[in-house]
Amino acid sequence: MFAKLKLNHYLLFIFFAMVLLLKFFLVREIMFDENNLPKTIFLEIGYLLFILGLIELIPFQTLKKSVYILVNFIFSLLLLAILIYFDYFGYIVTIHAFSQIDQVGTIKDSVMQLLSPVYLALFADFIIIIILFILFQKKGTLEISAFHQRFKLFIPIILLGFILISINIFSQKDTNIANTVLAAEKQGILNYEILAVKEKVTAENVPALTATQQKELPNQIKEIKQISTLPEDELKYSGIAKDKNIIVIQAEAFQVFPLNLKVDGVEITPFLNELIKDSLYFPNVYQQIGPGNTSDAEFIFNTSLYSAPWTATSETFGDRVIPSFAKLLKGEEYKSLTFHANDVSFWSRNNLYPALGFDQYYDIRFFGNKDVIGIGPSDEVLYSKALPELKKLHNKDQKFYAQFVTLSSHHPFKIPAEKQPVRLPDRYKGTLVGDYLQAIHYTDKTLQEFVQNLKNEGMWEDTIFVLYGDHFGLQPSGLKESDFALLKEITGHDYTFLDQFNIPLIISVPGQNTTEVIENPGSQIDMLPTLANLIGLSLENYVYFGQDIVNYPDNLFGMRYYMPYGSFFNNEIAFKPAEGFTDGEAFTIQTGEPLAEFSQYQNDYDRIMKLLKLSDDYMNSLPQR
């Protein structure tokens, strides 16, 4: 039968088309819990017909085989990357993120932890391919049909594939689906990737804001956010830290729930629990990072601008002249330094730091390779080696702004046994939650040592000390049932995205007796203006999208990467769109309970979409360095 239809001439095409379709089916079933093979075929077949059809036109059999295997391998790697990214971040990664593929080696421990045995099925066919090629080569059953015969058969197949691709893309080109998971499910994985490229190109080709438009931005933002500026003499805590040195700790993967937590009577963060009692503590602050993760947190804190939507901000805008906290402080005669024990090229910080105006950065070349935990030297090394640099400036009466980016509590949270002084119950052993609490406890311990050393050197009283979390540590899609059970035991409720994205903000001003728990909702974009008020730094004519959450309690801020584009928080709800507003979901900030009726918040959704666009337009208008 095969001989009559001459299908044996096209076994490679048939085999690889079937194998790749099955791989797409497997990935869709894992991510979307969807068991629908016809839908998979309809959404993905056009690309396979087009690509595999082109391969069939290769006249040399050996080369054709090699290209088939290479294309199969590339698709398998792409699908594996999508699965792993989805597991950790709950987001469907776009091909833009693959510009950081060289960074995988740095986070290899995290990647290995996320590999599920079922993912190996994406590569199981390579064993079959090797066996079949050996057998076919021996028996000579792989025949080469005449080129003109293949041409007549596969040109229509290629055209059919192109038509199917065009129909799928054209039918979706004006469809904006905020939720990336829903978008990939409805559009198809490959269509989603192509449409993401189109959307990025469109967004980057908008006309630059004129000088007049940029000058009007501060007032325009306040108008959209409905902020009425308070007189300076009515601002609470205004200028209480003026001329103090500024130390900012960006704590890796630090969420709120470990603070003030006792596990069977044992405190996880005993030092920070005490520090909070003498500080301004903001328990309702949320992350806003984009694809650049930790580096995006640095960017947002230092600018009060939204991060880039498609790629790491350091990759997209590292060549721009970016207004920033460090540049504002130059006018107050501060020197700005940043300490990060990783390689400065990771997330292109070698471009980001100069763009933000830091006078000096210290990376692994300064800290060395001793006492490595996970992806870099330990936090103990970070603080102990940085302190003498700060002491030099302090002895010269040189005011400084020092940013620290910690590493040791990075996923997968493997702190060496000799550095785990906290004893957790047996039920925590071997769990991600247990490892996470150990990592946070270690972070707390090293912070205590650092602060004590600042006191010993006579520097603490001259400092305003800030700590915040860069992003979540525990992603629901990466947790097991045992982890969820422990989190429910810890928090008293089911672990939700509100717990996941809730990060701490602690600001301590020694000698000022500023002790208050400020419940106002806030985000990373609000940190710069909040800190500016405390140090008496003017933001007049500066473009910023956050607000001082001490003095302006009514807030509206957005998130658009680990939540769907257009997600927002206000004083009452957290909102996640699906395709848009009307089919989205709203949850109360206080309890996390879903709201059945949320139409009254349509205006907030419209306002946040305007703010996100304004931030992007402003960033795209900044001049190159």
| Catalytic (active site) residue 463 | no
Name residue 373's beta-bridge partners.
376
Which secondary structure element, helix H or strand E, spans residue 112, and what is its range?
A: helix 108-114
Is residue 252 marked as binding?
Answer: yes
Residues of the chain with pLDDT under 70: 1-9, 96-115, 135-148, 174, 203-204
Residue range 32-75, pLDDT digits in tens:
887 788 888 989 999 999 999 999 988 888 888 889 999 999 99
For residue 412, cis peptide bond before it (omega within 30 degrees of 0): yes
pTM of structure: 0.88
| CB 96 within 8 Å of CB 50 | no
Write down the pLDDT at residue 5: 46
The residue whose two tokens read 């059953």 is: 141
Is residue 470 marked as binding?
Answer: yes
Rounded to 5°, the CA angle 65-68-73 comes to: 125
The residue whose two tokens read 């305007």 is: 610
- Side chain identity at 184, as an amino acid letter? A
Write down the pLDDT at residue 85: 80
Distance CA 66, CA 78 (A): 18
Rounded to 5°, the CA angle 549-552-557 comes to: 65
Residue range 174-188, pLDDT digits in tens:
677 878 888 888 889
198: three-class secondary structure by DSSP: helix
Q: Name the residue ranges covered by the structural domains of the chain.
A: 2-204, 240-554
Write down the pLDDT at residue 597: 95
Is residue 294 marked as binding?
Answer: yes
Write down the pLDDT at residue 93: 78
Question: Residue ranges of the alpha helices (H) in 205-319?
Answer: 211-225, 270-276, 294-303, 313-317
Out of 294, 406, 443, 463, the active site residue is 294
Is residue 410 marked as binding?
Answer: yes
For residue 426, the tally of other CB atoms under 10 A from its CB is 7
- The domain 240-554 having CATH identifier 3.40.720.10: the answer here is yes
